[in-house]
C-alpha cells in the first residue's frame, strides 16, 4: 500500500490485505477479529469472532442474538473491529453502525455449516449461566432427540448475521523502532476522505 497516496476506495485494499493474511504462514485464523461493543449500561466488551463475508456493504459475522454481544448491539447499534496479523506486522481497525443481515443470508450461511454446529446453535443459550458441563451435554441430547438421524435443523430464530457498515477504517503497517505507517479512511457524503496519521 502506498501510504502517501492511498487508493480512493479502501475495500480493494482490504481485500488484498485479507488475501495476503490468508496466504501467510503462522496465521491459522486470518479471519479472526476482535469485536468491541457497548452495552446499555455504557460498559464496553470485546471478544474474538470470525469474519465470514465482506463486500462494499460491510463486514459480516454470525452469532446468537441473545448473547451479550447481541444484547449490546440491540442497545447500541455500533461496533468496532480489529484484525491483528502479526506475521505481516499489520493491524486493521474498522468502526461503524451495525445491522442485522437479511434472513435469507443468515439461512444460506447456517445451511453451509456442519450439522454438529447447527445442532449446537440450538443447544446453547450463549452467554447465559449453566450449572455444569453435563447440563450442557444434556441440552444437546435433547436437541439430538428433536432432530434425529440426519434431520437438518432449521436456523434457530435467535441466531443470525450482523453487518458492520464501516464509517472508518484504519490501515496500520509496522516498521522497526515504531516509525509505523498509518492511514485512516473516514466516510463522507462524497465517498471517503483519507488522512495519513503519525504513529
Q: Which residue out of 163, 178, 182, 187 is catalytically annotated?
A: 178
User: Where do runs of H (alpha helix) occur along 93-162?
Assistant: 103-112, 115-123, 133-146
| Contact (CB, 8 A) for 102 and 70 | no
**Can 178 be counted among the known catalytic residues?**
yes
Listed in sequence order, the residues at least 6 apart from 124 whose beta carbon sits closer than 8 Å to its beta carbon are 64, 136, 139
Q: Find the Cα–Cα–Cα–Cα dihedral 63, 69, 71, 75, rounded to 10°.
A: -120
Name the nearest CA neighbour of 184 among 198, 168, 199: 168
Q: Phi/psi at 16 (nearest 5 deg)?
A: -65, -45
Listed in sequence order, the residues at least 6 apart from 102 whose beta carbon sits closer than 8 Å to its beta carbon are none
In this structure, the number of other CB atoms found within 10 A of the CB of residue 124 comes to 19
**Positions marked active-site:** 178
Amino acid at each position: 500500500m502506498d501510504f502517501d497516496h492511498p487508493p480512493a476506495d479502501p475495500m480493494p485494499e482490504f481485500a488484498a490485505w485479507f488475501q495476503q493474511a490468508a496466504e501467510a504462514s503462522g496465521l491459522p485464523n486470518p479471519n479472526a477479529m476482535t469485536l468491541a461493543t457497548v452495552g446499555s449500561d455504557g460498559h464496553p466488551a470485546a471478544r474474538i469472532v470470525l469474519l465470514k463475508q465482506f463486500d462494499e456493504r460491510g463486514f459480516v459475522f454470525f452469532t446468537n442474538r441473545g448473547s451479550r454481544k447481541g444484547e449490546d448491539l440491540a442497545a447500541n447499534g455500533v461496533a468496532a473491529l480489529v484484525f491483528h496479523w502479526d506475521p505481516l506486522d499489520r493491524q486493521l481497525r474498522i468502526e461503524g453502525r451495525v445491522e442485522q443481515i437479511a434472513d435469507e443470508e443468515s439461512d444460506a450461511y447456517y445451511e453451509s455449516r456442519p450439522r454438529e454446529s447447527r445442532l449446537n446453535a440450538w443447544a446453547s443459550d450463549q452467554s447465559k449461566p449453566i450449572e455444569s458441563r453435563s447440563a450442557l451435554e444434556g441440552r444437546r441430547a435433547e436437541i439430538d432427540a428433536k432432530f434425529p438421524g440426519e434431520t437438518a435443523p432449521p436456523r434457530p430464530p435467535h441466531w443470525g448475521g450482523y453487518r458492520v457498515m464501516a464509517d472508518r477504517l484504519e490501515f496500520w503497517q509496522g516498521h522497526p523502532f515504531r516509525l509505523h505507517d498509518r492511514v485512516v479512511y473516514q466516510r463522507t457524503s462524497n465517498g471517503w476522505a483519507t488522512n495519513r496519521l503519525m504513529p
